[in-house]
Amino acid sequence: MHQRTVPCQGYFAPQKIEEALEILSRYGKEIKVIAGGTDLLIQYYDRLYEVGSWLDLKNIKELKEIKISKNQMEIGAMVTHAQLEKSEDIKKYYPVLSQAAADIGSPQIRNRGTIGGNIVNASPAGDLLAPLMAHDAQFKLLSVQKEELISAENFFLGPKKTILKPAQLLTRIFLPLPSERTYGSWIKIGKRKALIIATITLALVVEMAEDNKTIKDVRTCLGSVAPTPIEIKEIREKMIGKNFSQLDFNQLGQIVEDKISPIDDIRGTREYRKNVAKNIMINALEEIDSAGRERDY
Ligand SMILES: Cc1cc2nc3c(=O)[nH]c(=O)nc-3n(C[C@H](O)[C@H](O)[C@H](O)COP(=O)(O)OP(=O)(O)OC[C@H]3O[C@@H](n4cnc5c(N)ncnc54)[C@H](O)[C@@H]3O)c2cc1C
């Protein structure tokens, strides 16, 4: 093991958010927040940075809750992937998010890794990011001075870069409760069946109008095709106001292919990713169409 140049000076594991915020404001950039540690400890041992002190969130119980309040779902930043995968409320209202959590890593990683860590780590391949964006998530950022609510769309700046400041904690994630006529599809493509880092992910969420025939809203969000998760907004104008039977799935897939500009990397070439993006969009539309027909829309 390498000799580290900066010895670790302190470890804090407060029980209250207020205490955590106070410690953060005292130490600023000198302290590192740790949740499950599944990203952080690998980066630490790879010597991506030095850490003076650690602020461990593991004892803050209120950050581990999933609850419904005022027409929205509230998910604490320390909720694990295993909790998301198993929660009956998440399965009922956000199956796309529940399936994405179930696809993460291995049981060990899902038991330790948290939604907050996945968000703040801001990997373009973070599996929860496209589903959160597709469900119009808002993130609550707290510091000693103030509270901010920011949409998933405005939170990510680039690979491992977000608008979160050193004195801020991500405390909660809010998702509006979808209508019961909302349908979703989650597709993750990677090279192996288990422990894969995504080559490309798609979260497609479609809300039908009260007649259950006309498309009222749609969000098409992809991961691993750009420095941040993205929504293909052009899909909205092609789908909203139409019935599924009026859609040209091939054309919609082509729009997704044309609108993304992924990079070549070890997990797949640019051309491969573009082609896969088109095909998974078509598959997701087919899945939602047939699920909807079974439920008689
Ligand atoms: C073997 C393996 C397989 C994996 N497979 C997948 C996979 O399939 N899909 C996937 O998406 N990811 C995968 N990951 C990555 C990782 O498990 C997830 O990103 C996980 O959600 C990170 O959460 P964590 O709680 O462990 O975060 P940590 O490692 O504790 O923290 C990550 C970052 O977020 C910051 N942070 C955490 N919580 C907060 C907060 N509340 N407020 C402010 N800052 C915070 C930390 O300071 C750090 O910078 C894998 C990792 C490993 C080691």
pLDDT in tens, 203-238: 999 999 999 999 999 999 999 999 999 999 999 999
Side chain identity, residue 47: R
Residues 6+ apart with CB under 8 A from 126: 118, 119, 223, 229
Of the candidates 248, 219, 246, the residue with the CA atom closest to the CA atom of residue 235: 219
What global pTM score does this model have?
Answer: 0.94
| Residue whose CB lies within 8 A of the most ligand 1 atoms, among 40, 156, 161, 165, for a mutation test | 40
**Rounded alpha-carbon distances, angstroms, from residue 197 to 53, 145, 226, 281:** 29, 37, 15, 19
Tell me which residues have their CB closer than 6 angstroms to ligand 1: 32-40, 42, 57, 77, 104-105, 109, 112-114, 116-118, 120-121, 126-127, 169-170, 195
Q: What is the mean pLDDT of residues 130-147?
A: 97
Spatial contact of 6 and 52, defined as CB atoms under 8 Å apart: yes
- Determine which of 34-43, 58-67, 83-92, 155-164 has the lowest per-residue pLDDT on average: 34-43
User: Cα of 25 to ligand 1 centre, how many Å?
Assistant: 23
The confidence score (pLDDT) of residue 193 equals 55
Tokens (6 digits) for 97: 């998010």
Q: Answer yes or no: is pLDDT of 295 > 80.
A: no
Q: Which residue lies with its CA nearest to atom 40 of ligand 1?
A: 170
The confidence score (pLDDT) of residue 8 equals 61
pLDDT, tens digit (0-9, with 9 covering 90-100), for 158-190: 999 999 999 999 999 999 999 999 999 999 998
| Residue whose CB lies within 8 A of the most ligand 1 atoms, among 33, 97, 111, for a mutation test | 33
Q: Answer yes or no: is pLDDT of 26 > 90.
A: yes
| Residue whose CB lies within 8 A of the most ligand 1 atoms, among 24, 61, 64, 109, for a mutation test | 109
Ligand 1 atom closest to 43 (CA): 29
Ligand 1 atom closest to 171 (CA): 41
pLDDT band at 98 (very low <50, low <70, confident <90, very high): very high
* Rounded Cα distance, 115 and 206, in Å: 23
Q: Which residue lies with its CA nearest to atom 36 of ligand 1?
A: 117
User: Cα of 222 to ligand 1 centre, how many Å?
Assistant: 19
pLDDT, tens digit (0-9, with 9 covering 90-100), for 238-258: 999 999 999 999 999 999 999
Ligand 1 atom closest to 109 (CA): 17
User: Cα of 137 to ligand 1 centre, how many Å?
Assistant: 18
